[in-house]
């Protein structure tokens, strides 16, 4: 009998190209997960349109309705629990999640960040990389903890930074790799192939 699929929620705020990569992997049958809901805190996010186009339940939660982020998080957490979501992927979700939200889904939230963490956490990671003068940057998928982009790293891909790179060109090169890396990391989780020892995440030996 096939194992029950994990239930995935993707949180977005913008373009949603990583969401698209996840959807495509599912539709190509490479990733076996039930993408149960896409939630956005931005009403006109292209990501929501992408989800709708593929018949995925998509919800806009309006931050303006709630007096603070804590209450916003509570509403979102309630929805995710009600749906028995197993895994939450942040894909360009531009709002910091509160401690309570993170605690209640501990070890079940992952994020993709456009740098080789721990270098250049936070906003404008690609710009930070160029200004610092690094010769390689890349992307990281990591578990979310209470810090900013500071949780245990699951997978990373490096890309070169060229002398004539600008923020846009480097972002494009990194994004291309993100679209491979995120579905790959999710697949490892769905197949229960990761070991974690403190901060260190490794592949289980088969």
**Interface with ligand GRF (CB under 6 A):** 14-18, 91-92, 112-114, 175, 178
| Closer Cβ to ligand GRF, 74 or 152, answer by number | 152
Least separation in angstroms between residue 87's CB and ligand GRF is: 17
Length of the chain: 206
DSSP 8-state class, residue 91: S
> How far, CA to CA in Å, does 133 sit from each of 119, 143, 164, 170, 198?
12, 27, 11, 12, 31
Positions annotated as catalytic residues are 113
| Closer Cβ to ligand GRF, 74 or 188, answer by number | 188
- The residue among 11, 151, 152 whose CA lies nearest residue 80 is 11
> How far, CA to CA in Å, does 174 sit from each of 10, 17, 58, 123?
20, 12, 27, 15
Least separation in angstroms between residue 70's CB and ligand GRF is: 22
| Closer Cβ to ligand GRF, 74 or 121, answer by number | 121
Q: How far apart are CA 166 and CA 191, in angstroms?
A: 38
Least separation in angstroms between residue 35's CB and ligand GRF is: 14
């Amino acid at each position: 009998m096939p194992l029950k699929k994990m239930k995935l929620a993707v949180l977005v705020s913008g373009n949603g190209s990583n969401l698209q990569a996840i959807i495509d992997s599912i539709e190509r049958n490479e990733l076996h997960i039930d993408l149960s809901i896409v939630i956005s805190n931005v009403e006109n996010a292209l990501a929501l349109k992408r989800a709708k186009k593929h018949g995925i339940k998509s919800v806009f939660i309006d931050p303006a309705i709630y007096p603070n982020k804590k209450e916003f998080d509570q509403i979102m957490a309630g929805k995710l629990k009600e749906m028995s979501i197993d895994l939450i992927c942040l894909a360009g979700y531009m709002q910091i999640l509160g401690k309570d939200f993170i605690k209640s889904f501990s070890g079940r939230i992952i994020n993709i960040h456009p740098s080789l963490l721990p270098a250049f956490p936070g906003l404008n990671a690609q710009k930070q990389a160029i200004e610092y003068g690094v010769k390689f940057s890349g992307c990281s998928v990591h578990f979310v903890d209470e810090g900013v982009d500071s949780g245990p790293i699951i997978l990373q891909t490096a890309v070169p930074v060229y002398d004539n790179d600008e923020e846009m060109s480097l972002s494009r090169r990194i994004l291309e790799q993100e679209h491979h890396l995120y579905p790959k990391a999710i697949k490892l989780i769905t197949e229960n192939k990761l070991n974690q020892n403190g901060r260190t995440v490794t592949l289980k030996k088969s």
